[in-house]
Amino acid sequence: MDYLDSLEAESVYILREAFAKLDNIAVLWSLGKDSNVVLWLIRKAFLGHVPFPVMHVDTGKKFPEMYAFRERYSKEWGLRLLVEPCPPIDAVDPTLPPAARSAARKTHGLNDALKKYGFRGLVAGIRRDEEGTRAKERYFSPRGEGNVWNLRDQPPEFWNQYMTTFPPDVHVRIHPLLHWTELDIWRYTKRENIPLISLYFAKDGKRYRSLGDQDITSPMASNADTLDAIIAELETTRVAERSGRAMDHEAEDAFERLRASGYL
């Protein structure tokens, strides 16, 4: 078993634990590289089938390439796709910085969807190395009333022993990719030949490294136009993965405030 095999095996174990221990689970699909890997792993874990509804919380501001990808692969992979809308910007906390406020629409849309469907658990493709606040997460992360995350009161997870028993009224986030890095995602995507949105590949000296809404996401300077070139670039770059996300640069605590209120 090589390194990617061990990453895959642990994630598959977490997904099967979630399926066995929690009822009424959905998978969040942002259409990006990480959530595509999550769907790929779920199909491996359940013999080619995705036994959960797959939910895209849609701000209506995604790139056209992302919508085309969603329509194509939701059909090719046989997904039970739920597309849930987000409220207008006026419904969002006005004290947040502008880009964070725009991103927070997604939290409101997600919370509305949770009330609508009553999902007990949500599988999300976040990684510890993406951003400091996400590094504080757990594989099985309980949420309080209103989907609020108390990052100072989380269950311990030692030696791959996961807490999977929660009171029936507790909502749980499941994070099967916490132990992966950005490079791991790309190396696994190459090995498995997982489909990707074309925006990740360089065109005219720029490419997107992290995909969000069109109005708050920027491409980075890059000539990496193949999977091998992207991997080689990431092996040496010192540029942060989310450097193109405007909300990460507005205020020191903006992202933590979003996460605490339910943001992905």
Looking only at the bridges linking them, the beta strands covering 206-207 and 220-221 are antiparallel
- pLDDT score, position 244: 63
Copy the structure tokens of residue 102. Answer: 């725009």
Percent of the chain residues past pLDDT 70, beyond the cut? 91
Q: 220 — phi, psi (to 5°)?
A: -110, 160
Interior angle at CA 240, CA 239 and CA 244, nearest 5: 100
Cα 158 from chain centroid (whole Å): 23
Residue scoring higher pLDDT (8 or 143): 8
pLDDT (0 to 100) of residue 88: 85
pTM: 0.88
pLDDT higher than 60, residue 21: yes
Q: What percent of the chain has pLDDT over 90?
A: 62
165-197 confidence digits (pLDDT tens) = 888 888 999 999 999 999 999 999 999 999 999
Mean pLDDT, residues 16-40 taken together = 95
Going by C-alpha positions, the residue among 9, 38, 34 that lies closest to residue 26 is 38
What is the spatial distance between Cα 11 and Cα 8, in angstroms, rounded to a whole number?
5
Q: What is the pLDDT of residue 240?
A: 77
For position 257, what pLDDT does the model report? 63
Q: Look at residue 143 in the predicted model and tell me its pLDDT.
A: 86
What mean pLDDT comes out for the span 187-210?
96
C-alpha–C-alpha distance, residues 86 and 105, integer Å: 6
Cβ–Cβ < 8 Å for 194, 37: yes
Residue whose C-alpha is closest to residue 79's, from 110, 112, 35, 22: 35
Work out the burial of residue 47: count CB atoms within 10 Å of its CB; fewer than 13 is exposed, 13-18 middle, 19 or more buried.
exposed
Which stretch of 10-24, 37-51, 147-161, 217-231 has the lowest confidence by average pLDDT? 147-161
Residue 215: the pLDDT is 85
252 has pLDDT over 60: no
Q: Evaluate if residue 13 carries a pLDDT over 90.
A: yes
**pLDDT over 80 (residue 65):** yes
The predicted pLDDT at position 133 comes to: 79
Measure the CA–CA gap between 127 and 59, rounded to whole angstroms.
22
Mean pLDDT estimate for the chain: 89
Nearest CA-CA partner of 141 in 260, 8, 6, 243: 260
What is the per-residue pLDDT for 253?
62
Q: Is residue 247 scored above 70 in pLDDT?
A: no
Identify any residues that bridge with 26 across adjacent strands, giving them in sequence order.
122
pLDDT over threshold 80, residue 131: no
In 32-127, which ranges are E strands? 54-58, 81-85, 121-123
Q: Among 16-20, 37-41, 89-93, where is mean pLDDT lowest?
A: 89-93
